[in-house]
Amino acid sequence: MGNRWKWINVPIPEVHVVLIVAGVILNVFWPLSIGWDGRLATGIGSALIAVSVALVGWATVAAGRVKLADPDRLITTGPYGMSRHPMYVAWTILYLGMLLILDSGWLLMFLPALAVWVNWESRREEKRLVEAFGPAYAEYRSRVRRYI
């Protein structure tokens, strides 16, 4: 078994899902187009979603057997060596991809709320990690960016 990953480490961040679903529903009843070139936006959006899926997979494998919601050790390798919150980065990239593919002004309007929530949640998580890992987390935090 060793370092095999856990399904529980593939998070489904509720705020991302809720805002995407809300944007889709609003777009069905009250379309709000951004007006970008459809093929270009779809191409870029698809590439962003592919990057997002790859980053979630990489972060999940890097986490291995560590339960991300309640870690027993710090994960500092893989994408965690470049970002303290690669899962939030990945899901936000997915959100941006969906925004482009759906040509949704609603998702664009919700983007600031998403950014505020992600920042609030990541800071809350960091407080827990400081309490759990003390100086080791402080050192990690001093050398690795929060997002990208």
* Angle of CA points 99, 92, 49, to nearest 5°: 65
pLDDT tens across the length of the chain (148 residues): 445 555 565 667 888 999 999 999 998 999 999 988 889 999 999 999 999 999 999 998 898 888 887 888 999 999 999 999 999 999 999 999 999 999 999 999 999 999 999 999 999 999 999 999 999 999 999 999 999 8
pLDDT at residue 144, rounded to an integer: 97
pLDDT at residue 65, rounded to an integer: 81
pLDDT at residue 1, rounded to an integer: 45
pLDDT at residue 14, rounded to an integer: 85
Question: Which tokens in the block code for residue 77?
Answer: 């390798």
Q: Which residues on neighbouring strands pair with residue 104, listed in sequence order?
A: 33
pLDDT at residue 66, rounded to an integer: 84
Helix (H, G, I), strand (E, B) or coil at 109: helix
Distances (CA, A) of 25 to 28, 32, 98, 121, 133: 5, 11, 13, 25, 42
